Amino acid sequence: MKIELAYLGRSRIVPRSAGWDLSLAPNLRRDRVSFAARLQKPIPFREAISALHDIVISDLRYKPRDRTAYRAYLAEQKEREAEIRHAAMQAVRQERKEQAAEIMPPGLEDRYRRMRSLYWKARQKYANYLARHDPKLWRLLMPCDPIITVAPDVLFFECFSADESSYGCLTADRDLFQQENNVALGTTNVDYSWTLYEHFQKLRSYRETRFQIDPAGFEVKTEEAADYREEKIDLPPSWLRGFLQIQSAMSLPMRRVPLNREGLYALLAFLKRHRARKSPRALRFEIDPGQSVQVVLEPWEKRLVLYGTKYEGERSESIRIWGRNRLLVLARLLPILEGAEVYLLGTGLPSFWIMHLGGMRLTLGLSGWTANDWTGGAALDQIAVPAEPSEDVLADIAETFKSSPALTFAQIQQRTGAAPLFVAAGLNKLALLGQLIHDLPAGLYRWRQVLPVALSEKQIGPENPETAEGRNLLIRGEVEVEQDETTPKGLRMLAGGVEHFEVHLFLDADGRILHGKCGCRHHYRFGLRRGPCRHLQALRNSVLAHFRHSSLENWFKHYWQIK
């Protein structure tokens, strides 16, 4: 999707006689948004905004080992082989040249081979090199500038990570600021750069810091200004869809699990000092009503008991999540942390970690797996509300936010008069379209348009048809599990019938599909290269507890009414 941004100048920290001005340049292509006030706690703000920065640049996708020495050895062997072949080929080449109508320019083939090698090597190293050495191309790490929203009670900043698996939202109460003026509510992008991040590190408590979203660009004829610039960005479809899927997941009901600073420190310290060499690599929450929360790190089975916490849910559960190394971005917040909690959807599904920082809260949203694609076997598409809200319901929900930009679920249901299931479906749909956000700590839904125009499902990208059909097969009861065994190596072997196909698959200790066999056309053409077919997904999902629902009513009872 292509979007246009326009800025007057750069976001920067400007020194003045009484202190500093932290000035953020807003996107002039959006409605006017402004805010100016004195920041009361610059040190906690510095640490929180720096943690948000760490979320943006985090990239834990698989990186291959450095095999430079081994490749040099192979190159030497290949060179020796080439010398042997060279003598045999020279005679043939000379004969062909004598027979050719035109003589090949000397050295043409060598130049072609050299240029081709140069091109492919440069292309392979392009992304990593720019991410580490060229701050000017920050766009490659952050396709879209951070989003800032000025609401009646809070300010919040939102961002998405480079590997498209982590979402960050820093919420600051308006009480954190003094002497507010020039306030215009709304949502906009703000110019961001590595230089601004480095300026953040200079914030000090002994210097007065004024925070402002500078509205000057809206008040003058900016096109003729020397520092006016426009940018046209083509947002990657995966980035946009991943960002909105995380928003959608936040609008689903979850288990609230309390954490404490000591437990979080122990968890991060253990992850920092240990590296798992084999699966499973899950973080397992064992929660019992009225008991202290217990966190188990696999495969070491290291158990952390979070004394002083008390789970207030209604039933005992064991929930496993993956991609735990992404939590290390929270380490910087430990000195200013006052409390924490995590919201869990279920095993292998997204989780949301809330850090309470006095007048601020940092929300770290993690997809179910670091590689947020079909390999996780638990894509966000598969947990969406299994109901399609009507256009009237969507319009009614949107209308309720005109009188108040922040509402609870009960208030929205009361004002629309719709059934709770369809209100839940409507909120989930609007979140997926980038129109609102669920503020988990406050228990509020906030109207916030992520882009200046309303998004359509076509712009977001269609749901994977195999994933959708796999879910429907399970709901219709067309899956029969005939075999469910565990091999001596710890793999789970499943076999059964889905529709009229005989399906076999192997799952690893983390529940991911390693091998599969199905007679359908999709599997015959692509195997697992483009994700598992609908029949493999349906068979796998049938043995997971969080997919066991057969109707809309059962889904709502199982998910929405759980605590």
Reference 520, options 542, 504, 509, 541; nearest CA is: 504
Identify whether residues 177 and 324 lie together within a single domain.
Answer: no
Q: Residue 315: which CATH number? A: 3.10.150.10
Cα–Cα distance, 53 to 57 (Å, whole number): 7
**19 pLDDT more than 80:** no
Identify whether residues 272 and 364 lie together within a single domain.
Answer: yes
Query: pLDDT category, 285, cuts 50, 70, 90?
Result: very high
Using an 8 Å Cβ cutoff, are 211 and 37 in contact? yes
Q: Which domain holds residue 266?
A: 249-373
Reference 506, options 483, 526, 477, 525; nearest CA is: 483
* pLDDT per residue as tens digits for the range 502-511: 999 888 665 6
Cα–Cα distance, 152 to 448 (Å, whole number): 12
Using an 8 Å Cβ cutoff, are 21 and 14 in contact? yes
**Domain boundary pick from 373, 405, 420:** 373
Identify whether residues 321 and 258 lie together within a single domain.
Answer: yes
Domain count, the chain: 4
Q: Residue 399: which CATH number? A: 1.10.10
Residue 422 within any structural domain of the chain: yes
**341 pLDDT more than 80:** yes
Reference 397, options 382, 417, 381; nearest CA is: 417
Identify whether residues 296 and 319 lie together within a single domain.
Answer: yes
* pLDDT per residue as tens digits for the range 47-57: 888 888 888 77
Cα–Cα distance, 284 to 340 (Å, whole number): 17
Q: Which residue has the higher pLDDT, 2 or 469?
A: 469
Cα–Cα distance, 517 to 497 (Å, whole number): 12
Cα–Cα distance, 106 to 109 (Å, whole number): 8
Query: 256-269 burial, b for 16+ CB within 10 Å, e for fewer?
Result: bbbbbbebbebbbe
Using an 8 Å Cβ cutoff, are 334 and 354 in contact? no
Residue 548 within any structural domain of the chain: yes
Mean pLDDT confidence for 182-202? 78
**Domain boundary pick from 310, 339, 373:** 373
Strand order in the sheet with 208-213: 12-16, 19-24, 208-213, 34-39, 177-184
Q: Which tokens belong to 257?
A: 């699990």
Q: What are phi and psi of 186, to 5 degrees?
A: 150, -170
Query: pLDDT category, 333, cuts 50, 70, 90?
Result: very high
* Distance, CA of 130 to chain centre: 21
Mean pLDDT confidence for 130-148? 59
Cα–Cα distance, 196 to 194 (Å, whole number): 5
Residue 194 has what pLDDT? 67
Report the DSSP beta bridge partners of residue 497. Answer: 480, 502
Q: Which residue has the higher pLDDT, 563 or 30?
A: 30
Residue 539 within any structural domain of the chain: yes
Residue 249 has what pLDDT? 83
**228 pLDDT more than 70:** no
Using an 8 Å Cβ cutoff, are 193 and 41 in contact? no
Cα 478 to Cα 472, 522, 541: the distances in Å are: 9, 18, 12
Reference 497, options 489, 487, 505; nearest CA is: 505
Cα–Cα distance, 40 to 45 (Å, whole number): 9
Residue 53 within any structural domain of the chain: yes
Residue 480 within any structural domain of the chain: yes
Reference 460, options 380, 397, 532, 383; nearest CA is: 380
Identify whether residues 367 and 388 lie together within a single domain.
Answer: no
* Distance, CA of 362 to chain centre: 15
Sign of the CA dihedral 118, 119, 123, 128?
positive
**383 pLDDT more than 60:** no
Identify whether residues 336 and 264 lie together within a single domain.
Answer: yes
Identify whether residues 231 and 273 lie together within a single domain.
Answer: no
Identify whether residues 495 and 354 lie together within a single domain.
Answer: no
Residue 220 has what pLDDT? 47
Identify whether residues 57 and 190 lie together within a single domain.
Answer: yes
Q: Which residue has the higher pLDDT, 516 or 222?
A: 516
The contacts of residue 507 (CB under 8 Å, 6+ apart) are 377, 491, 492, 494, 513, 514, 540
Q: What is the DSSP code (8-state) at residue 4?
A: E
Residue 93 within any structural domain of the chain: no
Identify whether residues 262 and 314 lie together within a single domain.
Answer: yes
Identify whether residues 6 and 43 lie together within a single domain.
Answer: yes
- At 90, the amino acid letter reads Q
Residue 457 within any structural domain of the chain: no
Identify whether residues 264 and 348 lie together within a single domain.
Answer: yes
Mean pLDDT confidence for 508-537? 80
Residue 136 has what pLDDT? 52
Residue 83 within any structural domain of the chain: no
**Domain boundary pick from 211, 235, 259:** 235
**What rounded mean pLDDT belongs to the chain?**
79
Residue 227 has what pLDDT? 62
